[in-house]
Structure 1
Amino acid sequence: MTRDEQVVAWLGSACAGPTRWGTFAVLGEPGAAEIMAEQGFDFLLVDLQHGLLDWADVATFTRAIENVGAAPLVRVPSGDAASVGRALDLGAWAVVVPMIETGEQARQMVAATQYPPRGTRSFGPFRGRAAADDVARCLVMIETAAGVDNVAEIAAVDGILGIFVGPTDLGLSLGLGSAYEVGEPSHDDAVRTVVEACARAGVIAAIQTAGAAEATMRASQGFDLVSMRSDAALLRGAAAEILRAVH
């Protein structure tokens, strides 16, 4: 199977099978991302918004991740068309766009993943081209109360791959703070609203979680892609655990 065929098959089946598990790659070290992918994660999300990476790192990261059998997704720093196209050119199987609140914003980001006449993407024949550009490749993040209010319109945008819930920013938007309790009623109602809208529209529902217990719960709610913590958080936790053991 060629790389393009792998991309098409993975993206095309993301709603059809069991939950796929991932984590964020935020450390500026491709070796760390490769080690995480080797553990059996289905996808790694290379984080250009909050991670310690630059654009020059992306091609190396995406190659390292896909070479050990995981799917490299890339979160761009902001919702602009140039960033979306560049992430695909550098090897992202799909892009994740933060802070989307309206259907029109989502339509613009989807268009940025598609070549004319369907979209506005500039042709860059490096790594992201051919058959893979005929499938949906844009996940937009809902991270605010306004995004939740407009989720049905966002999920119905033609050509969208799915919606990725940013739970911490959503908690801040709902007035709960960043240390909200998982399962807090207003937060959980918002999360359920998103996953139900995705199910009705037939698109991917994705979410970031704090760990295995929450991840399992989110999978039971119907999320297709579930991310657990990050390479930095998992390294920090493992280091703290081994020190506690010896002390």
Structure 2
Amino acid sequence: MQAANRLQKSLKASSPAYGGWQMLPGTNLTRVICRASTNMDWLLVDLEHGNISDDSMHEIVAAAAACGVSPVVRVVDGQDWMIKRALDSGAHGILVPVLETVKDARNVVRASKFPPMGTRGFEPLLAVEKFVEQHAHSGYVKELSGREYLEQANDSLVIAVQIETQLALENVKEIAMVPGIDVLFVGPFDLGVSIGHPIVGGEMDETLELAIQSVQEAASDAGITAGIYCDSGRDAKGWAAKGFLMNSVMTDMIGLREAVSQSFNSAK
């Protein structure tokens, strides 16, 4: 499983893992996004704010995995059944929004892990095909068995939680230390509003930058990864230089709007 999880491989190597962000449904869109760049490591399937249903999520996860890109599902909330649906679809990881306390973090880990570490129920039929190892030179394909999924899932899936409120920021060091949490992920816009320092005109002030950096420091002290939402490759690369390694680069709705606007403006 670890060999097929492109996101986890990058994070374990302490290398930046750059991702796309899909809010709109459709596997044709998924394939276009995933095949647009060879350095896309993961694709976020956004159930929280996107226009994506449960059945669409299953199809998008499969399409991304087939393209060799790790599908990560942002669930609507950290409820057990939502986490179960995302992981059973074959997602290589999850992102849980609005996590604020150590108790919240422990609940996420419990729902994400098989016993004895957690309470996740076992049914791998849909998940195993999303972890196929393909070897280009030999043509060899290794399919994952249900038993292998059970034995490896606890160590091979990326569990990320979003730090986006004042309360989460106050508890971030303790949250980072919860066993089973792999990534502290920052949503700069939400965090800025929560702490009273919203991003204005695309620029963040020093207070917000320091708050964001405190998340990276908490992750580093705990030996886990920090990630951040970005709208551009330049921003993603800049934050990678500051220690953030799971960084988004492009959101479909933003990228589509910019591409259409640029093309039509050039036609004037």
Fold shared by both chains (TM-score > 0.5): yes
- Hey, what does 1:176 align to over in structure 2? 197
User: CA contact under 8 A between 1:208 and 1:229: conserved in structure 2?
Assistant: no
Say if 1:180 and 1:144 are closer, same or farther in 2 by CA, change over 3 A: farther
Classify the secondary structure of the residue corresponding to 1:221: coil
* Distance in 2 between residues matched to 1:118 and 1:172, nearest whole Å: 35
Match of 2:153 among 133, 146, 162: 133
Residue in 2 that maps onto 1:72: 71
Q: CA deviation at 1:134?
A: 2.5
TM-fit CA distance, 1:148: 1.2
1:204 alignment partner, one of 216, 220, 225? 225
Contact 1:5 1:131 in 2 (8 A): no
- SS at the partner of 2:119? coil
Q: Deviations over 1:128-158 (max 9, x none)?
A: 3434413153101000121111111011001
Given that residues 141 and 166 in structure 1 are in contact (C-alpha distance below 8 angstroms), is that contact kept between their aligned partners in structure 2?
Answer: yes
CA RMSD of aligned residues (A): 1.7
Count of matched residue positions in the alignment of Structure 1 and Structure 2: 244
Distance in 2 (alpha carbons) for counterparts of 1:164 and 1:69: 23
Pairing 1:142–2:139 present: no
Name the aligned partner's letter for residue 161 of structure 1. D
Secondary structure of 2:161's match? strand
Alignment partners' CA distance in 2, 1:180 and 1:193: 23
The one-letter amino acid paired with 1:236 is R
What CA deviation, in whole Å up to 9, does each residue of 1:177-236 have, x standing for no partner? 354643411110111000111111111211101213321221111111110231111111
- Higher mean alpha-carbon deviation, 186-195 vs 116-125, is at 116-125
What's the counterpart of residue 138 of structure 2? none
Cα distance in 2 for residues equivalent to 1:113 and 1:122: 9
Assess if the C-alpha contact under 8 Å between 1:15 and 1:202 holds in 2.
no
**Contact 1:169 1:178 (C-alpha < 8 Å) held by counterparts:** no
Larger radius of gyration, structure 1 or 2? 2
Q: Is 1:28–2:25 an aligned residue pair?
A: yes
| Cα distance in structure 1, aligned partners of 2:28 and 2:111 | 30
Aligned counterpart, 1:190: 211
User: Would the alpha carbon gap of residues 58 and 132 (structure 1) be closer, same or farther in structure 2, given more than 3 Å must change?
Assistant: farther
Question: Which residues in structure 2 correspond to 1:1-247 (within 5 Å)?
Answer: 4-7=1-4, 10-11=7-8, 13-40=10-37, 41-128=40-127, 129-135=149-155, 136-177=157-198, 179=200, 181-247=202-268
Q: Unaligned regions of 5+ residues in structure 2, if any? A: 128-148
SS state at 2:73 partner? strand
Shift of the 195–47 alpha-carbon distance from structure 1 to 2, 3 Å rule, reads same
TM-score, normalised by the number of residues in structure 2: 0.86
Identity of aligned residues (%): 32
Residue 121 of structure 1 deviates from its aligned partner by 1.1
Q: Deviations over 1:13-48 (max 9, x none)?
A: 414232111121111112111111112211110000
Contact 2:2 2:9 in 1 (8 A): no
AA matched with 2:66: N
Moved over 6 A (4+): none
8-17 vs 186-195, greater mean Cα deviation: 8-17
- The one-letter code sitting in structure 1 at the alignment partner of 2:16 is T
Residue 19 of structure 1 aligns with an amino acid whose one-letter code is P
Looking at structure 2, the residues matched to 183 and 131 of structure 1 have their Cα atoms a distance apart, in angstroms, of 44
Name the CA shift for 1:8/1:212 in 2 (closer, same or farther; >3 Å). Answer: closer
Q: Using a 3 Å threshold, how does the CA distance of structure 1 residues 12 and 156 change in structure 2: closer, same or farther?
A: farther
